[in-house]
A and B are shown apart, each in its own frame.
Chain A
Amino acid sequence: MKRREFIILSGVGATSASLLSACGHPEEKLIPAFIPDEEFVPGIDYWKASTCGMCPAGCGIIVRTREHKANKIEGNPFHPVNRGALCARGQAGLEVLYNPDRIKGPMKRVGERGDGKWEEISWDEGIKMLADKLREVDPTAYNDQALFVTTDSRGVTAHVGHRLMEACRKGAYVVWPLFNEVGAETSYSTGYRSATVFDLANSTYLISFGARFLETWHSPVMYSQAYGEFRGSSGKTRGRFIHVEPRMSMTAANADEWLAPTPGTEYLVALGLAQVIVRENLYKSPASAAFGNELGEYAPENTAAITDIPTEKFIRLAREFAKAERPLAIGALPANAMPAVTLLNTLVDNLNKKGGVLLPSRHNEYYGPLKMLAPRDSFMELSHTKFAEARKMHAWRVMMIHRFNPVFATPAIREEILTIPFIASFSTFMDETTELADLVLPDHSDLERWDLKSSYPTSGGMVVSVTQPVIELQCNTRQTADVLLALARDLGGEAAAALPYESAEEIVKKGAADFAAHWGQPDAETAWSELAERGFAAAVEEFRANTYATKDQLNTTLLSGLQLKAALEEDPDYPLTALIYEQLWQGDGSFANLPALQELPDPMTSAMWGAWVEINPQTAQSLGLKDGDLVDVQTRTGAVRLPALLYPGIRPNVVAIPFGQGHLAYGRYANQRGANPASLFPPSQSGPHLESTSRARVVKAAGRGELTRFGTELQEQMEKRR
């Protein structure tokens, strides 16, 4: 008997459970794990390379497995995007693979929609059911459509889905990620759609307009690494960093100087800086003088009142920026305001220069079968908002939905979706939208599937990373691309002809071989084994300057449409401004089912397992609110009830709510936790995305809010000693 057990047994708290645990020999169950097989020797770590699927950045990962179980994910030290590092989300990836709330296999609905009554079916039955529904759709009728929709825009799923729907003349859509910061790239310069990268590491003076590059923007790990170098490495002076955002995000907290303008006026700050640079002749590209006239009205003297940033600060920062050795501006503003940021970079002439804006020359991102399957015009890209609008325009008879949860992001769309006669969901988890489905054909987790992803590291060129299974299947799931290929075979005719592939694995391997051949490795087998082992292949090429917008284009397209006004109209009944933000780990809400992240203290507030509303202490005082009070945040559209969190890092009269909690489904860790702020914003005007702001008021509700914050007494100890 073990000593502690004896203590427990002899104490008052002896229970039958501890008695039972003293019997039997659980160790013997371990025997099968100690028998080696062809692949594994017990007691030895096996590392397998793949690509992180927790966000679109495409970081390389290596997964440690032992005795047929994956027990750790680390960054791939050789991968040029993340060079060994991995963020909090990526580290929690195993909780997706081994999540207890995964859908175990294909199911069809047996009760009413939303009742949660399901019957397990076979994959053959599920695929046949969906194929039959697709056959019922009349391809000639405008108002009779089938739809495939995914947020996984660059993966094999989207390509296969698109080609399948095209072949049977049905609609296919990619919906931007909820916090669509990848979409913002489109507007970087006129019509140029590519992965613009920013050479943060070598910049000496950085201004960020709301781009939370250390948390959620573009490629957070890649830019965090660059930030580390920016702050100082051997032989380099420490870079200076200014961040412009009404709420102090974690990224803002790291800035040397934080500017908190009125929400929605960030672009006016950028234009004000530009105006000072032009009028003081501090610009580096001679053509910039031409902007003088257009910029006149944005002089800081005119905008200081709207932005609430003093004129002197504008002038000082403009001079610092323009005189810096290698200045750089980045931004995550709404698409129509981004030209203001581009203008700053134009003035200091940093395009394709060290420490500046880097435009990789355009490659075809797709190879092999992926090139054949690459999206064409019929493949529409939509924002969440536009998805709701598109729904109004088309009568969809069948909706196939993949990695997309519109009922959570835009709760008002629920009724619309219920009118669609047949819904098939490919979700790995029972989310709010899948609850309404008629058929569930669950996809693999990212650690079980095949895919190919391209990304642009700051070191230049392009990287193709492979997603491959690192462990045996955990559930009776099937990769959605494979289901779609099976569907094509069942449908026959044009669909089968358009998709002559056996599996996603075949597509990925052929695509990888084609990529390798293009970049000098003609032997497909060697190319594949190298790629599978390393997890990625790189095409290195210098950045080229020839694709940048000319100054004429800047003149006409960039500045038109920008208006000198605050983003929101005054509303006497709603004196405050409410905004939502993408929190460090919560993303679009799809990580709320991971306990390691739920219990991760928020970096700015230490809050865990819930949602909250951040209020400046000064505002709270005027409203008679204390930390932890339960409040109703009301807008003209809706209301949410949340605990108030007094937060010094937010403008007075602005309240901020993290997005991602408030699920009404999605498993034991996510369900009924906090509240979903999406209802504060009208779905027709703007679904929740990064620029969502609304006039609001805050009313104290009865009772105390439940909000847990992680804390220790270290701070007191330190202050005592000061």
Chain B
Amino acid sequence: MKRLTKSVVVVCAVVVIIGIVLLRASGKPEAPRQPIEFDHWQHVTKEEGPQLECTFCHENVDKSSHATIPNIITCMGCHESILTESGEVQKLAAFAERKEQPPWRRVYWHEPEANVFYTHKPHIRAGLECITCHGKVGEMHRVRREVDQTMGWCIDCHRTRSVSIDCYVCHR
């Protein structure tokens, strides 16, 4: 009897451990380390900085389904001459020299299995602010995921704004 209890405990423990491992494996890092320590605050909020609009770099947000990550050519447009002595900018220049794009890591995404087809364009055209879905990225040094973009969260907003919550709007 004791042995049975013991083995039940062992089996339960194994299941829990496997569960934790799997859950961790499928969890997304909240603030992934980027190939270059790009600082959004410096570019957007800092008073003596360039105070760029989001769309300066994410230029396709109102045209395409993707906001798009700027091409390194865009970065080098300024950094050819600005802050060239900075270590991070030199890393950037090295990528540009090799004609490579830095391997940026994503902060927000949906798994392909979610079968969800989010598109930026209609959301921007409806007047949504970037921070509504992405948090105050402009005040962050390293971008961190602040908004938990679950389906319930999407639907809440759609309900509030009387937008269709038909499954087929996003899932297809």
Contacts and interface: CB of A to CB of B under 8 A. Distances in A.
Contact between chain A and chain B defined by CB under 8 Å: yes
Interface of A: 1-2, 4-5, 9, 19, 22-28, 30-32, 34-37, 41-44
Given A27-B109, A41-B63, A1 B23 contact: yes
Contact of A36 (B25, B71, B103, B104): B71
A37 B100 CA distance: 12
Contacts of B23: 1
B68 A35 contact: yes
A31 B66 contact: no
Contacts of A41: 60, 63-64, 68
B64 A27 contact: no
Given A2-B113, A44-B63, A9 B22 contact: yes
Sort A-B residue pairs by CB-CB distance and give the 10 closest, nearest first.
A43-B64, A43-B65, A43-B66, A23-B25, A27-B109, A44-B64, A42-B66, A1-B26, A41-B60, A35-B69
B7 interface: no
Contacts of B59: 36
B111 A35 contact: no
A30 B103 CA distance: 10
Contacts of A5: 113
Chain B contact surface mostly: loop
B60 A37 contact: no
9 contacts: A1-B22, A26-B112, A27-B106, A31-B105, A34-B69, A36-B68, A42-B64, A44-B63, A44-B64
Nearest to B100: A32
Given A2-B113, A27-B106, A32 B101 contact: yes
B60 A36 contact: yes
B106 A35 contact: no
B63 A31 contact: no
Contacts of A36: 59-60, 68, 70-71
A34 B68 contact: yes
Interface string B74-104: 0000000000000000000000000001011
B28 interface: yes
Contacts of A2: 26, 111, 113
Contacts of B106: 25, 27-28, 30-31
B50 to A, nearest CB: 20
B105 A37 contact: no
A311 to B, nearest CB: 61
Chain A contact surface mostly: loop
Contacts of B60: 36, 41-44
Given A1-B26, A28-B106, 10 more contacts: A2-B26, A2-B113, A31-B106, A34-B66, A35-B71, A35-B101, A36-B70, A43-B68, A43-B119, A44-B64
Contacts of A35: 68-72, 101
A27 B107 CA distance: 10
Interface in B37-67: 59-60, 63-66
A34 B106 CA distance: 11
Contacts of A22: 22, 25-26
A242 B101 CA distance: 63
Contacts of A43: 60, 64-66, 68, 119
A27 B112 contact: yes
A36 B74 CA distance: 10
A72 to B, nearest CB: 16
A27 B106 CA distance: 8
Contacts of A42: 60, 64, 66, 68
Given A43-B60, A44-B60, A37 B71 contact: yes
Contacts of B111: 2, 27
Contacts of B28: 25
Nearest to B66: A43
A550 to B, nearest CB: 63
A24 B70 CA distance: 25
A31 B22 contact: no
Nearest to B70: A35
A170 B22 CA distance: 69
Contact of B105 (A1, A19, A26, A28): A28
A32 B25 CA distance: 23
A23 B24 CA distance: 9
A41 B70 CA distance: 10
Contacts of A1: 22-23, 26
A43 B62 CA distance: 11
A24 B106 CA distance: 13
B104 A31 contact: yes
Contacts of A23: 25-26
Contacts of A25: 28, 106
A42 B22 CA distance: 32
Nearest to A6: B22
A30 B60 CA distance: 17
A300 B113 CA distance: 68
Nearest to B60: A41
Nearest to A3: B113
A31 B26 contact: no
Contacts of A24: 25
A5 B114 CA distance: 12
A254 B159 CA distance: 52
Contacts of A9: 22
A23 to B, nearest CB: 4
A306 to B, nearest CB: 60
A41 B63 CA distance: 9
A34 B102 CA distance: 12
A216 to B, nearest CB: 36
A4 B113 CA distance: 10
Contacts of A37: 71
Nearest to B19: A1
A161 B104 CA distance: 49
A34 B59 CA distance: 12
Nearest to A26: B112
A12 to B, nearest CB: 15
A225 to B, nearest CB: 31
Nearest to B15: A10
A28 B33 CA distance: 13
Contacts of B113: 2, 4-5
B27 to A, nearest CB: 9
A54 to B, nearest CB: 29
A624 B141 CA distance: 83
A196 B113 CA distance: 54
